[in-house]
Structure 1
Amino acid sequence: MDRSALAAGPGDGWLFVDHERVRPLGLPGLTVVPRRGPGPLSSDVPLGDGLWLSSEGRALVDNLGPSRSRGARPPRTLSTRELHDWIARLVSARRPEQIERIVEQAKEAADAIGRVHRVGEVRKLIAAADGGATVTTESPALSAAQAGRGYDVVRVSQLEMLADHLTSRPPRPRPVTGEHVARQRFLPFYEAYFSNFIEGTEFTVDEAAMIALQGQDLPSRPADAHDMRGTYELVVDDAEMTRELRSVDEYLDALRERHARIMGGRPDVRPGEWKDRRNQAGATVFVEPALVTGTLAAGREIVGRLDDPFARALYAVYLIGIVHPFDDGNGRLARVMMNNELVAAGECRIIVPTVFRYEYLAALGAMSDGGYPQALISVLDFAQRYTYQIDFSTVGTAHEMLERTHAFTDPQIASEQGIRLTLPSSLPRTEN
């Protein structure tokens, strides 16, 4: 109960419980602090062996009560800021019918402890977190929600953690200067080719070149052809790819404009319009539609902490990946935003070849589901090293190097046969 209800367990070696015992119970590494309450309520969650977890509504009511720390022991209840942060996080992650259930739980708890007036406080705080009321608060999350820019508190916390981790990584610059300028002539073409291929828009290289480089149509697959052409025309546009997005509003506008350019051949996915329905991939549920712009805005503010172009690029791809702000085309857009950061800083782009698809997606999943950034850092660092070593001066030269390094290999076949993406520098030299 009390602050322990948030984590459903101890915090920093302290566990607060509803029990008739009077004195705290000291255990190795844990102190159990009891207080007498009404006992289990019908809305509480049974854990077995006579243990119960306070419902979210009861936890809200309990934590509205004041308390003080005593020596090393933290306050029994949350501070006002902690409570407001929690409510913002709770409301951002719940549907309306779930919120109403929490209010019903709060009513039961308030009746049980004789604090009926707290139900009104709960309602007001929930309304504030939903943008429908105003309360005085020091919580950034609740302040944003009241201003109509509520964000996903859990995801923004992940983004802050990622940014903190990236600031501790020493830069490894891969500048596009001298001979590398000519060597990257057709890199945007292959960037667009692979970015579409790993999303299921599959062409041969010759077909993709016909569409993107020669401007020809593919009557049998007009939508797929537009995906390829739209992506290529965006990533080959120097003015767009070197553009610095200086404000949150400029960033949000650029996302919509770029999405419309990429997905303009698919009116059914509403190009350039924020999603209006929840989306997910496997067990990963992305940010709720109502919190999309707020989460993007909060996330964009955090990127200001990062100076290293690679760090900013990695952060950019993860931000779009975890929000998934559009109905479709989010992966392509995420990689455009990633390379925008690199090109604007004069650094080498990153391509994710077909054979590298599983590693790339697994690394994104490790970050979004487990909060482990190192896999994503390693995968994208390797992908940039790889891209930097390919000679893209002609389509043919690039194709030969990509083929020799297994870039085009189907990831399932690669997995079954132990084939891996190979750095060109590790290949045996060929005799002329």
Structure 2
Amino acid sequence: MGGPSRWEWLAFFEAYFSNFIEGTEFGVEEARSIAIDGNIPAARPQDAHDVAATFRILSDPALAGRKPTSGSDMLDLLREHHRVLMAARPDKRPGEFKEKQNYAGGYQFVEPALLVGTLRRGFDAFAAVTDPLQRAAAMMFLITECHPFDDGNGRVARIIANAELTATGQVRLIIPTVYRNNYLAGLSSVSNEAGRGEAFLSVLRYAQRWVAAVDWRSFDRAHADITESFGYNDPALAESSGLRLRLPGS
């Protein structure tokens, strides 16, 4: 994987894209100013905090690499991460599990009354999975399918999923903007029981290959590789133009 300098800017771009694909959109230079320099724009303080808080977790090796060891530990870790991520949004009840049913595009997530039990049983059910990427996919799906919070579910899910990879020395996952629809389609295929998760794993494998191919040693190098590979492109516009996420240098 190379030394620490090889991944110097990975945490920033992971935080940037994890927020961008959820609708918290900043230009990459402005996001850099927010996360690295602490410059919070007066017009969007809550959005800026989301980016800065995500970066704060991901730039701390102990937090970014902390994987849950039990169902109870996962519940605690979910709440801890959410409390940090949503600290600037008291209306989203930071660190508190949902009390009302939530939906996305008409799809109903796990009911609040069944949430804790489903998370515990899901964690136990995946205990036999030992492959790091498969475990990351399982954690990502479990948390996303449960949607345990009023907001911030995708970001929390990706943090915990990536911890499974970091704990075993594997390359972390980033979902760049142009790959958002592929990622969501992969998740939906599992939710709709279209196969046994092969499509979702295929999406994640390619994302992992892309991360491994980008040069994260400096902001400028990473930015250039991401631009070359169409990572910043709007997914709908890219699709209409026949553009796909590609590996840098390919």
Given the two structures, how large is their TM-score scaled by the length of structure 1? 0.57
Is 1:245 the equivalent of 2:68?
Answer: yes
Map residues 170-319 of structure 1 onto 2, 5 A cutoff.
176=1, 178-179=2-3, 181-319=4-142
CA–CA distance in structure 2, aligned partners of residues 424 and 397 of structure 1: 11
Question: Do the aligned partners of residues 371 and 297 (structure 1) sit closer, same or farther apart at CA in structure 2, a change above 3 Å counting?
Answer: farther
Instruction: State which of 208, 212, 234 in structure 2 corresponds to 1:388.
Output: 212
Q: Which runs of structure 2 are paired with 1:367-378 in the superposition (5 Å)?
A: 367-372=190-195, 373-378=197-202
Distance 1:233 1:217 in 2: 14
Instruction: Say if 2:65 and 2:162, in contact at 8 Å, map to a contact too.
Output: no
Question: Following the alignment from structure 2 to structure 1, what is the Cα–Cα distance between the partners of residues 237 and 212?
Answer: 25
Tell me, in whole angstroms, the C-alpha distance in 2 between the residues paired with 1:425 and 1:303: 37
- For 2:192, what is the secondary structure of its paired residue? helix
User: Which protein has the larger Cα radius of gyration, Structure 1 or Structure 2?
Assistant: 1
CA distance in 2, matches of 1:225, 1:271: 16
Query: Partners of 1:279 and 1:244 in 2: how far apart?
Result: 26
- Quote the Cα distance in structure 2 between the aligned partners of 1:351 and 1:317: 13
The amino acid of 1:298's aligned partner reads R
| Amino acid paired to 1:242 | G
Match of 2:221 in 1: 397
Deviation at 1:237, TM superposition (A): 1.0
What does residue 126 of structure 1 align with? none
Superposed, 1:43-82 pairs within 5 Å as: none
CA displacement at 1:425 relative to structure 2? 4.4
- Following superposition, the deviation at residue 397 of structure 1 comes to 0.5
Structure with the higher fraction of residues in strand conformation: 1
Q: How far apart in 2 are the matches of 1:395 and 1:204?
A: 14
Higher helix share: 2
State the SS of the aligned residue for 1:256. helix
List runs of 5+ in structure 1 lacking aligned partners: 1-175, 427-432
In the alignment, the residues of structure 2 paired with residue 303 and residue 295 of structure 1 have an alpha-carbon distance, to the nearest angstrom, of 12
The alpha carbon displacement at 1:303 in A equals 2.2
Higher relative contact order (CA 8 A, sep 6+): 2
Runs of 4+ displaced beyond 3 Å: none
**1:206-225, Cα deviation, whole Å (9 max, x unpaired):** 11111101112111101000
Query: TM-score, normalization: structure 2?
Result: 0.97
Secondary structure of the structure 1 residue equivalent to 2:88? coil
CA deviations over 1:238-287 (Å, ceiling 9, x no partner): 11122242222111100001011111111111111100111111132100
Partner of 1:421: 245
SS in 2 for 1:211: helix
What is the SS of the residue equivalent to 2:127? helix
Q: Kindly indicate whether residue 171 of structure 2 is the aligned counterpart of residue 348 of structure 1.
A: yes
State percent identity of aligned pairs.
46
What residue in structure 2 maps to residue 332 of structure 1?
A: 155
CA distance in 2, matches of 1:359, 1:242: 25
In 1, the alpha carbon distance for the partners of 2:86 and 2:67 equals 22
Aligned length: 249
Structure 2 regions of 5+ residues with no counterpart?
none
Query: Which residue does 1:123 correspond to in 2?
Result: none
CA RMSD of aligned residues (A): 1.1
- Kindly provide the amino acid, as one letter, of the partner of residue 421 in structure 1: L
Distance 1:243 1:268 in 2: 27
